[in-house]
Amino acid sequence: MTLAVARRAEATALFAAQGVPTRRVEDWKYSDLKSALGEAGIGAQVAQWHVTDLPAGVEQFDLSQANPPGWVIDNFARGTGNVMSAASLALSVGGVALRVPKGAAIADLLKLDFTGPGHVRALLVLEAGASLTLVEGVGLSEFRNVGFEIALGEGAALDHVRVSPADADAVLVEEAHVRLAAGAQYRAHFASFGSRLSRMELEIALEGAKAQAHLSGVSVLDGKRHSDVTTRMIHAVEDTLSTQLFKHVAGGNAKAVYQGKVTVAKGANGSDSNQSAKALLLGEAAEADLKPELEIFADDVKCAHGAAVGDLDADSLFYLRARGIPEAEARGLLLHAFLEDAVAQIANMDQRELVRTELLTALKVIA
C-alpha cells in the first residue's frame, strides 16, 4: 500500500506544519479546538468503529489489516487538505472501509458507530447505481476525531443520518469528504445536541453533471454546549444542484455555529445552490455565529443564501396563548415548528421519527 504510505506522509507533514487549530485560524474562529483540548492535546490513540449487522451485499474491510483490495486503494485518503482530516490520517492506523457494489440497492440500514478516544478513518464507496442508507452513531468520548471519505459513483444515492448526542465534556470532531460522480445524490442530515466542542465539517465535491447534494441539520443546545457545522460545497462542473437547510436552537450559555461556503468553479454554468441557516437564541448568554459564504466564478448560475438570528415570534406566541395554550407549551410548539422543516428532509421515516423524538426531549429541557 505504497500510495497510502505516501498520502500518510503528506498528511503528517501538513499536520506538523499547521498544528491543532486555534481561534486565530479563520475556519476555526468560532471553535477553539486547541483550548477545548487543553493540556491533553489530540493524542495519538486509535478510536474504535463498529458495524451492527452488516447488511447483505455490503463488503467490509478492516483498514488495520494488510493487503487491502483494489477499491480501497483507489479511494483511500484522497483528500488531505483539511488539517484535522490530515491528523486522523497521520495518526490512525485503524478504521473501516465499506463498499456497495454496482447497481446494488441495499434496503437494510447500515449502522456504523464510532466509539472511544483517538483518531479513526472510514471509507464508504457506492459504485455506479448503488443505493444505501447510512446511520452513523456517535459514541461519547473525551476526544475523538473521525476522518470519513465517501465516494459516490455515477447515479449512486446515499442517505446519511448522523446524530451527535449531548455531553458537556466530550470533544467530537469529524471531517467528511464526499465526492459525487455524474447523477449521484447525497442526502445528509446532522442532528446535534452539543458537547464541549462539537464540529462536523463537510467538503462535498459535485464532480459530475447533474450531481446533487442536499444537506440539512438541527441542533438543540443547552448549558455550555457547542455545536459547529462547517460545510464546503464545490460545484466543480455544470448543472449541479445543492441545497442546505440548518436550524439551531441555543439556550443557556450554548453556542451554535454554521459556516457554509459554496464555490461555483469557472465554467460550472447551470449550477443551482441554495443555502439557509437560522438560529433561535433562548438563553441570555447564548450565542449564534453564522457565515454563509459564496464564491462564484461562473455567470450563468442561481445562487442564493439566507441567514437569520432571532427569538420566537411574539405574535405567534400571542396567537397560541390567546387560544388557551399555556406559554411553555406554546413555546414548545413554535420551537418544534421551527426545527421541523429541517427534520422533514430525512428520507427514512424511522430515522426521521427517531431524530424528532430526541429533539422534542431536548426541547422540553431547554424551553
Contact segment (CB under 8 A) with other proteins among 55-63, 73-81, 222-230, 286-294 equals 286-294
Among the listed residues 62, 108, 169, 300, the single contact to other proteins using CB under 8 A = 300
* Binding of other proteins by 288 (CB under 8 A): yes
Place of cell 441554495: 274
Q: Which residues pair with 263 in a beta bridge?
A: 234, 295
Q: How far is residue 328's CA from residue 264's CA, in Å, rounded to a whole number?
A: 44
State the angle between helix axes of 2-18 and 83-91 in degrees (0 to 180), rounded to the nearest 10: 130
Q: Is 223 in the site for other proteins (CB under 8 A)?
A: no
Torsion of CA 178, 205, 99, 54, to 10 degrees: 30
Q: Does 297 bind other proteins (CB under 8 A)?
A: yes
Rg (CA), the chain: 20
> Which residue in the set 284, 323, 324, 349 belongs to the binding site for other proteins (CB under 8 A)?
284
**Exactly one of 34, 305, 321, 336 binds other proteins (CB under 8 A); which one?**
305
Binding of other proteins at residue 283 (CB under 8 A)?
Answer: yes
Interaction of residue 290 with other proteins, rule CB under 8 A: yes
Tally Cβ neighbours within 10 Å of residue 62: 11
292 is a contact residue toward other proteins (CB under 8 A) = yes
The 15-34 contact track toward other proteins, x by CB under 8 A, reads -----------x--------
Asked whether the beta carbons of 317 and 334 are under 8 A apart, the reply is yes
Grid coordinates belonging to 208: 459530475
Count of all residues that appear for the chain in the document: 367
Which CB sits closer to other proteins, 53 or 284?
A: 284
| Shortest distance in whole angstroms from residue 134 CB to other proteins | 31
**3-state SS of the chain: helix, strand, coil percent to 5?**
25, 45, 30
Is residue 295 close enough to count as binding other proteins by CB under 8 A? yes
Question: Applying CB under 8 A, does 327 fall inside the site for other proteins?
Answer: no
282 touches other proteins by CB under 8 A: yes
What is the number of helices (H) and of strands (E) in the chain? Answer: 7, 18
- Ranges within 91-130 binding other proteins (CB under 8 A): none
- Interface residues with other proteins (CB under 8 A) are 26, 266-267, 269, 279, 281-311
